Amino acid sequence: MKKIRPLTLPFVLVFLLYSNVSCIPFGYYNRLAQHQTDILRAKTPIKTVLNDSTISDENKEKLKLVLEVRKFASENLGLEVGSNYLDYVPLKEDAVSFVVNAAEPYALVSYNWRYPIVGKLPYKGFPTKKEAEEEAKQMESKGYDVFVRGVSAYSTLGWFDDPIFSSMLSLSKERLVETIIHESVHATIFYKDDADFNERLATFLGTEGAKLFYQSKQQNDIVAKINRDKEDLLRFNTFIAKEIHDLDNWYKTVLNKVESLEQKKLQKKKRLEQLQDKIVAEGFTKDKPKDINNAKLLLFSTYQGNKDLFINLYAKFNSFKDLIEYLKTVKHSKDIK
C-alpha cells in the first residue's frame, strides 16, 4: 500500500469528507489527521535516539531489539515492514490512542462504527483519554455498555510509516517483539469489514512470530516463557469462551423474558458479579475484576476467540512465510480454506 506523505493529508481529508460510507462527523477525521500530523512531526530516527544521553540504557536496548525484529519480520516471516519502526516518537501520555468499545446492554452484540476504506470496526479511537471518555458517555446515554482502553501501538495499514512510540517501550521485550509482529501482520493482511478475524490472526501470528524470532537467536528460555504464557492464556481462553457462550444463552432464554427494565438491570448486574467471582475462584486473578460488561467481554472475543481455527491453518503450511503468501492471495477471510 502506498505511503501518504504529510503534505498529502488534505487530499485524504477531502476523500473522507465526501465518502458516503460513514456517518461519523468530518470533525472527527480532522482531529485524527491532526494527531497523525503531530506524530509525523515528532519522529526521530532510532539511530539518532540511540546516541541520546537522556534515553535510558534499557530503552536503548529495546530500540535495538526493534531494529532486529523488523528485519526478521521482513526477511524471515514475509511481512511487509517497509519503513515502519525506524523512528521513535515520545508521547505525553502512557498510550498513543484511547479506544472506545460499545455493545448492546442485554445481548452480546458489538456496536460497529463504519469508516471509509476499512469498513466496519467494533471500536473508535481518539488521541486523548478525555475525548474517548466523552464518546463513551454519549454511547452510555444511548443505553450501550462501554469500555475505554489505552493502546500502546497501532498500525496505519501501510498508509504511513509507523514509528515506535514511547508507550511501546513500557512492554517487556518479548511483548514488544509480539507487538511489532502483530502490527506488521495488520500492515500485510487486512480484510475489510472483518475486525474480529484481523485481530485474532494478528494476535496468533504475533505470538508464533515472536517464538520464531527467539528461536533464531537460540534464546530458548524466552521461547519457553512465551509457551508458558500461551498455555496460561489458552486455559483462560477455554474458561471465558464457555462463560461467554453461557451468558449469551442466558440473555436469550432467561433475561429476554423479563419485561421490567429495572429487573433486567438487576439480574444482569447479579449475573456479571457471579462471573467476576468465578474468575477469582478459578485462580486467574487474586483481585476481583472490575466493571465487566458486554463491551469488555466482546473485546476479549475479538482478540482471543476461535484459536483452533488459526492453529489448524498454521499447521497446513511449511512456514510462517508460506502462510503469509497464501493469505495475501485471499480477498476475504471467508474464502480461507
Q: What is the distance between the alpha carbons of residues 10 and 8, in angstroms, rounded to a whole number? A: 6
Confidence at residue 334, expressed as pLDDT on a 0 to 100 scale? 85
Confidence at residue 3, expressed as pLDDT on a 0 to 100 scale? 45
**Which DSSP symbol is given to 18?**
T
- CA geometry: angle 36, 199, 138, nearest 5 deg: 60
The three cell numbers locating residue 199: 485481530
Please name the residues in contact with 209: beta carbons below 8 A apart, sequence gap of 6 or more. 73, 77, 79, 177, 178, 181, 185, 320
- Considering only residues 76 and 23, tell me which one the structure prediction assigns the higher pLDDT: 76
Q: What is the mean pLDDT of residues 172-198?
A: 93
Q: Is the pLDDT of residue 287 over 60?
A: yes
Percentage with pLDDT > 70 across the chain: 91
Confidence at residue 23, expressed as pLDDT on a 0 to 100 scale? 55
- Considering only residues 201 and 28, tell me which one the structure prediction assigns the higher pLDDT: 201
Q: Which helix (H) or strand (E) holds 19?
A: none
Residue-wise pLDDT tens digits, 10-64: 334 434 443 434 456 668 888 888 888 888 889 999 999 999 999 999 999 999 9
Q: Is the pLDDT of residue 79 over 70?
A: yes
Q: Is the pLDDT of residue 106 over 60?
A: yes
Confidence at residue 18, expressed as pLDDT on a 0 to 100 scale? 37
Specify the amino acid at residue 200.
Answer: R
DSSP-derived pairing of the beta strands 164-165 and 87-89: parallel
* Confidence class for position 306, pLDDT limits 50, 70, 90: low
Q: Is the pLDDT of residue 136 over 50?
A: yes
* Confidence class for position 154, pLDDT limits 50, 70, 90: confident
Q: Is the pLDDT of residue 286 over 80?
A: no
Q: What is the distance between the alpha carbons of residues 209 and 329, in angstroms, rounded to a whole number? A: 20
Confidence at residue 34, expressed as pLDDT on a 0 to 100 scale? 85
Confidence at residue 20, expressed as pLDDT on a 0 to 100 scale? 39
What is the pLDDT of the chain when averaged over all its residues? 88
Q: Is the pLDDT of residue 182 over 90?
A: yes
Half-sphere exposure of 257 (CA within 13 A, CB side): 4
Residue-wise pLDDT tens digits, 255-283: 999 999 999 999 999 999 999 999 999 98
pTM: 0.84
Phi, psi torsion values for 95, nearest 5 degrees:
-145, 150
Q: What is the mean pLDDT of residues 299-309?
A: 72
Confidence at residue 9, expressed as pLDDT on a 0 to 100 scale? 46
Q: What is the mean pLDDT of residues 187-215?
A: 92
Confidence at residue 7, expressed as pLDDT on a 0 to 100 scale? 41
* Confidence class for position 8, pLDDT limits 50, 70, 90: very low
